[in-house]
C-alpha cells in the first residue's frame, strides 16, 4: 500500500474522530478540543489534555469512551463497507465468528495505519485484543485507550446482535506495560 493511500486513510479516521468530538461535546467545544490541524502522532494526546482541562480528570474518561462509541457509528456509515463489514461472508457468520472476523479486519487496518501488529486472540471466555502503542517514543503518555474501549463497545454490540458485552483493559502502556490488552467477555451481559 502506497504512502498516499495511507495518508488518505489517516485523514478518514481523523474526520471520523472530529465528527464524534462534535457529536459528544457540542459545536462550541469541539473546535477548542480538536482544532483543524493535520494529524500528528500527538493528536490523541492533545485532545486528551484539552478534554481533561475542560472537564476535569474524573469526567474526561467517560467523555472519551462516549466519543469512541460515537466514532464507531460514524465509521460504520463511512468506512465499514470498504472494510468488508457488510459482505455476506462476514455479515451472516454466527455471532462469535463474526466478532472475531471484524476484529481481524480492524487489526489489518491498524497495521496499515501504524505499521504495528495488533493481535486478536480467543480465550475460553474472552476475545483478547493486544495493541502495541502506535507511537513508539511516547508509550508512557496517553494513547487513546478509552476512545478505543468506546469504539470496541459499540463494535461488539453491532457484531453481537445488539447485546452488551463487558470490556476491560487488563493492562495499559501508560502503566509501563509493553502493550495494551483489552478483554471482551464472550458471554453478553443480560
Smaller CB distance to Zn ion: residue 34 or 44? 44
Residue (of 129, 127, 128) closest to 187 by Cα position: 127
Smaller CB distance to Zn ion: residue 64 or 66? 64
Per CB under 5 A, which region of 9-17, 83-91, 115-123, 175-183 contacts Zn ion?
175-183
Residues 148, 182 contacting (CB under 8 angstroms)? yes
CB 180 to Zn ion: min, Å: 3
145 is an interface residue for Zn ion by CB under 5 A: yes
Smaller CB distance to Zn ion: residue 101 or 131? 131
180 is an interface residue for Zn ion by CB under 5 A: yes
Smaller CB distance to Zn ion: residue 34 or 145? 145
List, in sequence order, every residue forming a beta bridge with 130; answer none if it has no partner. 119, 181
Per CB under 5 A, which region of 66-74, 115-123, 137-145, 152-160 contacts Zn ion?
137-145
Q: Return d(Cα 101, Cα 89) in angstroms, integer.
A: 10
CB burial class (10 A; 0-12, 13-18, 19+) of residue 48? buried
CB 150 to Zn ion: min, Å: 13
Largest CA distance in the chain: 46
The grid coordinates of residue 115 equal 505499521
Residues 170, 109 contacting (CB under 8 angstroms)? no
CB 120 to Zn ion: min, Å: 16
172 is an interface residue for Zn ion by CB under 5 A: yes
Q: Return d(Cα 143, Cα 33) in angstroms, integer.
A: 16
Enumerate the H helices of 56-172 as residue ranges. Answer: 57-78, 80-83, 88-91, 95-114, 145-159
Per CB under 5 A, which region of 39-47, 107-115, 154-162, 178-186 contacts Zn ion?
178-186
Per CB under 5 A, which region of 24-32, 56-64, 80-88, 165-173 contacts Zn ion?
165-173
Q: Residue numbers of the site for Zn ion (CB under 5 A)?
A: 145, 172, 180
Amino acid at each position: 500500500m502506497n504512502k498516499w493511500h495511507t495518508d488518505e486513510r489517516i485523514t478518514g479516521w481523523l474526520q471520523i474522530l472530529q465528527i464524534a468530538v462534535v457529536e459528544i461535546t457540542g459545536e462550541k467545544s469541539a473546535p477548542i478540543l480538536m482544532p483543524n490541524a493535520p494529524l500528528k502522532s500527538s493528536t490523541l494526546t492533545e485532545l486528551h489534555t484539552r478534554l481533561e482541562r475542560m472537564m476535569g480528570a474524573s469526567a474526561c474518561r467517560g467523555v472519551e469512551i462516549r466519543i469512541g462509541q460515537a466514532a464507531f457509528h460514524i465509521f460504520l456509515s463511512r468506512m465499514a463497507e470498504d472494510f468488508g463489514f457488510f459482505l455476506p461472508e462476514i455479515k451472516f457468520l454466527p455471532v462469535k465468528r463474526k466478532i472475531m472476523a471484524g476484529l481481524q479486519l480492524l487489526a489489518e487496518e491498524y497495521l496499515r495505519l501504524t505499521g504495528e501488529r495488533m493481535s486478536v486472540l480467543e480465550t475460553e471466555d474472552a476475545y483478547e485484543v493486544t495493541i502495541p502503542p502506535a507511537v513508539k517514543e511516547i508509550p508512557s503518555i496517553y494513547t487513546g485507550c478509552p476512545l478505543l474501549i468506546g469504539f470496541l463497545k459499540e463494535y461488539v454490540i453491532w457484531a453481537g446482535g445488539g447485546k452488551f458485552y463487558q470490556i476491560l483493559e487488563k493492562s495499559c502502556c501508560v502503566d509501563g506495560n509493553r502493550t495494551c490488552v483489552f478483554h471482551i467477555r464472550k458471554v453478553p451481559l443480560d
